[in-house]
Chain A
Amino acid sequence: MIRAYLRRAWRVGRAYYFATIIIMLVVMAFTIAFMVYGASSATPESVHGVNLPPNLAVIFTKYMLTLFVSTLIAMFVSVLSSIIVLGTIQADMQNGVFEILFGNGVSDGELIRALFIVGFSAFAVFFVIAEVLVMAMFIVTHVSLPYVLIIDIILVPLSTGLFTTGLSVFVGLTKPKYFRISTGIGSTQNLAFTVVALPSLVILMITIIASLSIIGVSSIINPIMALQSLGNALIIASMVMLTPTPLFITMTHVDRVGLVSKGVV
């Protein structure tokens, strides 16, 4: 069952979201390239608007863009995996696949396992693509980074992506009504995608706001130290996000009525 479902989910995902996935991969590649190029090409002459000594401003810009890259990758990888997971669930609801699977003896446990494997396989693929891309860019452009930022580039997307994937399966199977929530004015809203995209968006926004805030108070604190602390904080946040991820597997229960009702509330 699991192997069949995995193969089918990728087929379904490919059929329904191929264009979206390709566009997002292209945007991700372009964003990574742009940010890493910006970090590598920063010079005392090209850095403006940062109220710091030129050499410090260059280092600050490199570190800040690196943190942005790590959180942007986290967001892209998370959203891409959730598209596969939630898209598969939504398509299977619409096509009545769950009803036929349950009617042919597939258990809740089998379905939960199958969808977690679908989700984690999707995450693994997108994570590897993103990491290979970003590492290649850093190597090509000879950007040297402190140890903490290299960990950020790997750990932040890893933990955010795993968390989001687990959350996607949890929301999709336990709360299928989130796919179509009535807005009260005659239309419906897909809350499921919003819910699962939120953690990675919050991390990205916090990183951007914190980095820009550091510039504002750079006269009273060491901005480089502050950025490295932000990097450390992101590592801690990543560890915190990783902790509940396995719990999604045990917390997920299958709302059979919701899944066979085409998500209409």
Chain B
Amino acid sequence: MELMVKDLVVGYRDGVVIDGFNAVFSEGRTVVLGPNGSGKTTLLRAIAGVLKPLRGSITLDGKPLGKGDVGYVSHASGLDPNMSVRENLEFYAEVKGVEDFRDVVDKLGIDDLLNIKVGKLSNGQRRLVEIAVAMLGKPRIYLLDEPTDGLDVFFARRVREIVKSLGGIVIYTSHVPSEVFEVADSILVLKSGRMVFYGDIAEVGGAVKVVARRERETLIIETNIDEVPRTIEDLRHRGYEVLEVRSTAIEDLLGEDHD
């Protein structure tokens, strides 16, 4: 399965944001990193079909994307706060032509939220419902726009676990470099609407600093980039909370303007 984005140009009323973007995404998880305003959201909106490109093409195995190919989670919730979780899921299930949403509800463990109005959910619970909407109909491509943004540590970790369990092509934007090491198979760095790097994490190279804490004890470990997932897992296993994962190479790619 191959998602090909060719010569993509996308813009709004006030100008072009993505200019001449080319990439081929295969099965697996790609994290798109970039500073605010780099075009991450616009890129996802174009692939999802929310925005029509000014130029270029987006194809899945050589064919234009069709209804049901994409599961999309954006900054915009898409959920009506006055309707219950069940009513929102029923609506999107009908829109997507899916008969039953039970399996998605079971998979995400949100059964207890079904009768609660969306307006009464926490940010984390709401994000789980948004992911459930994206998962309806088992799409072949998942587009997730900063899905952990604004979530506490618990829900952010839960969302990352869900993302890791998704099949197909997963494109996940973030402005937090450390997320790359927990989610990604490959990394794509965007700057001012242009791709400055796209490849496996190992290709980034360089040393990575992992900062972790257990009670009052803070640990800083320096390791190779391809050892990071194993290091994080090991630290968590030993009861540490991973506070930060810093890669100088990735920060260099993102540039000085990245916060």
Interface of A is mostly: helix
Among B49, B75, B80, B94, point to the contact of A95 (Cβ < 8 A). B80
Residues in B with CB closer than 8 Å to A91 are 80
Mark the stretch among A4-12, A142-150, A215-223 that contacts chain B: A4-12
Residues in A with CB closer than 8 Å to B13 are 257
Among A3, A256, A257, point to the contact of B94 (Cβ < 8 A). A3
CB distance from A181 to the nearest CB of B (A): 15
Cα A16 to Cα B83 in complex, Å, equals 11
A96:B66 contact, CB within 8 angstroms:
no
A96:B72 contact, CB within 8 angstroms:
no
Q: Which A residues, 138 to 171, have Cβ-Cβ distances below 8 Å to chain B? A: none
Whether B209 sits at the interface, judged by CB under 8 Å, is: no
A95:B50 contact, CB within 8 angstroms:
no
Q: Given A95-B79, A95-B80, A256-B50, do A104 and B67 touch, yes or no (CB 8 Å)?
A: yes
Among B45, B49, B75, B82, point to the contact of A105 (Cβ < 8 A). B49
A8:B91 contact, CB within 8 angstroms:
yes
Residues in B with CB closer than 8 Å to A136 are none
CB distance from B54 to the nearest CB of A (A): 12
By beta carbon, the residue of chain B nearest A262 is B76
Q: Which B residues, 227 to 253, have Cβ-Cβ distances below 8 Å to chain A? A: none
Residues in A with CB closer than 8 Å to B96 are 104-105
B66:A105 contact, CB within 8 angstroms:
yes
Among A4, A96, A99, A104, point to the contact of B70 (Cβ < 8 A). A104
By beta carbon, the residue of chain A nearest B136 is A104
Among B45, B79, B90, B92, point to the contact of A104 (Cβ < 8 A). B92
Residues in A with CB closer than 8 Å to B51 are 256-257, 260
Interchain pairs with CB closer than 8 A, number: 94
Whether B214 sits at the interface, judged by CB under 8 Å, is: no
CB distance from B92 to the nearest CB of A (A): 7
> How many A residues are at the interface, by size bracket?
20 to 34
Which of A11, A97, A256 has the most C-beta atoms of chain B within 10 angstroms of its own C-beta? A97
Whether B77 sits at the interface, judged by CB under 8 Å, is: yes
Whether A101 sits at the interface, judged by CB under 8 Å, is: yes
A95:B81 contact, CB within 8 angstroms:
yes
B52:A8 contact, CB within 8 angstroms:
no
CB distance from B206 to the nearest CB of A (A): 35
Whether B187 sits at the interface, judged by CB under 8 Å, is: no
Q: Which A residues, 39 to 97, have Cβ-Cβ distances below 8 Å to chain B? A: 91, 95-97
By beta carbon, the residue of chain A nearest B68 is A105
Q: Given A12-B82, A102-B50, A105-B49, do A4 and B74 touch, yes or no (CB 8 Å)?
A: no
Cα A1 to Cα B96 in complex, Å, equals 8
Q: Which B residues, 66 to 125, have Cβ-Cβ distances below 8 Å to chain A? A: 66-72, 74-83, 87, 90-92, 94-96
B82:A15 contact, CB within 8 angstroms:
yes
Binding site for B on A (CB under 8 A): 1, 3-5, 7-8, 11-12, 15-16, 91, 95-97, 99-106, 256-257, 260
Q: What are the 5 A-B residue pairs with the smallest beta carbon separation, nearest first?
A: A96-B76, A100-B78, A103-B72, A105-B67, A4-B94
What are 17 A-B interface contacts by the 8 Å CB criterion?
A4-B91, A16-B82, A95-B76, A95-B80, A95-B81, A97-B76, A97-B78, A99-B45, A99-B72, A100-B78, A100-B133, A103-B70, A104-B70, A105-B68, A105-B96, A256-B51, A260-B76
Binding site for A on B (CB under 8 A): 12-13, 45, 48-52, 65-72, 74-83, 87, 90-92, 94-96, 133, 143
Contacts A4-B90, A103-B48 given; 6 further ones with Cβ under 8 A? A7-B91, A8-B83, A8-B91, A12-B83, A96-B78, A100-B76
